[in-house]
Chains A and B, each alone.
Chain A
Amino acid sequence: MARFPSEAWFKEVQEVYNSDSSLHTGGGGACETTAAFKVGDECYRIVFEGHQCLEIRSASEAELASPETDFIIEMAPELWKAMVENIQEHGAAHDDQTLNSIDLRQDDSIAYSPEDDQARQDLFYRFNQNFQDFFDASSRVETTFD
């Protein structure tokens, strides 16, 4: 059983996502981006290529701020936890726990470009469903929380 958040947890999600093409339909096509997730102090770097999640691993803050990162999704740990719990319960993000709906509720967007590059920040919207599909894949990962 993998703990959220951890590199092991994200790698299990990656395995589920990559092995089931039915999880690749929501995004409507290929996705090419290098993004990052910030869960409290923990940072993860994710690389999408085509219909695959090519890489997901722990990263340093400095790495996240590098020009390679298109955008970062940052939320308070309790928001991440509520989203993952909701996905575990429903098999996919439900009601107000999708990335879109969480973002709508926040004063500041949960996604931003470390380079203040609007075109790269917009990738959060252009590839929104790919990221949603990725997190929805976590419904098949046995999960514990801190």
Chain B
Amino acid sequence: MADKDAGAAVPAAVSAGDDDGPQVEGVPEPTYEWMGLSNEWGVRVKPGEHGLRLGDLNVGIYGEVPEEWNDHTRRPRGALPRPGIPPLPYNLRRKHEMWADCAADLYEEAIQRRWIPATEVPWGSLEPLPEEVERAICQICTEFCQYANTELEIITYWQGQMSYGYFEVKQFLATATFDCARHIEAFRKRALANGGGLGIEQRGSVNRMILESRGGWTESVTYLYLLRGTYTMALYRMLLNAAHNDAERFIFSHCIEDHARHLTYGYDHLKYAVTHHVGQDRILQTLLAIGESIMGTELKEGTMGSAMAVLLGGGIEGGRTIGMETYLHGVGDFVRDYLALGEWIGVPREENLNPMLKKYLVY
């Protein structure tokens, strides 16, 4: 038995040979009124061929995903509500405001496919590059850090407002924020690991547009994933194609895979919102008309284009010719993908596409 005087909060040891059974001293008598309080008891979910996945748990009442979740508390979906819990500001409480059917699967995928920049990127493969090229990749990494911290900040801004009725989405977005943190880490390390350093901060009008999209998470997704995200994917793919060493190949190939998960969620959510909320397609048309203009201006005036051209052209000289041509072709691919995605989501933009984006279709 423990010495009672040693501190009342410390549980006493159990006497193994006690005839009355295990006893604990120094703590209050347990209460049992919570036992037996369950909406559904006796659930026994079995692991499937891919293990016990989040989506597998959607059985019985636990699988009922309501169109509207009016509970303002942190109650897990399926648990019994407790009267008297003060409400919290969960302002996103309707399914169409955040849902994507793929969220649970994407969560599992993100958990399984995480990577470690510190030890898995073959940093030893970095070799000195021509200074113009090193400056270009460092400038690109600087701007990618800003892309990723914008994504991280806007997700976390909304995440706290998403109700627990749609926990699959909250769980997936938690992995997306960690992916963003990992990208910031990897890009910062690449910029500081090969004789260069960070470049100049991007002006960031698209970042600001994303961060100031306060009309709802769907609005943020429109700017973050459909517009900026689709462009970012085009950049990552060009950079993987032009990687100078295994370290860059590793970073960009893994960033593509992470980012593709984010886009899958984003596109799927927008399609869900358009399909399940009357008038959402027209709202997105209006948002995209505004967003295309800001995106077009940034493409024209931003530093990313010239940095990409120098990198793809192997220097300033090549950046004026083949480098810029390659970059512009990549931007053309972005606009074509954007139009195809708009069509698939149910928000066709071809007829009203802003001329500042339309001009890239010739490449």
Contacts and interface: CB of A to CB of B under 8 A. Distances in A.
Given A116-B344, A122-B260, A125-B233, A30 B253 contact: no
A126 B120 CA distance: 18
A29 B237 contact: no
A86 interface: no
Interface in B118-138: 120
B263 interface: yes
A125 B271 contact: no
Interface in A13-30: 25-30
Contact of B113 (A28, A96, A118): A28
Contacts of B115: 28-29
B300 interface: no
Contact of A119 (B49, B241, B268): B268
Contacts of A101: 240-241
Contacts, number: 71
A70 to B, nearest CB: 12
A126 B261 contact: yes
B114 interface: yes
Contact of B241 (A32, A49, A100): A100
Nearest to A26: B253
Given A29-B114, A100-B240, A126 B341 contact: no
Instruction: Give the size range of B's interface with the partner.
Output: 20 to 34
B333 interface: yes
Contacts of A118: 264, 267-268, 271, 341, 344
Interface of A: 25-30, 32, 49, 96, 98, 100-101, 103-104, 116, 118-119, 122, 125-129, 132
5 contacts: A29-B114, A122-B260, A127-B257, A128-B257, A128-B260
Interface of B: 49-50, 101-102, 109, 112-115, 120, 233, 237-238, 240-241, 250, 253-254, 256-257, 260-261, 263-264, 267-268, 271, 330, 333, 341, 344
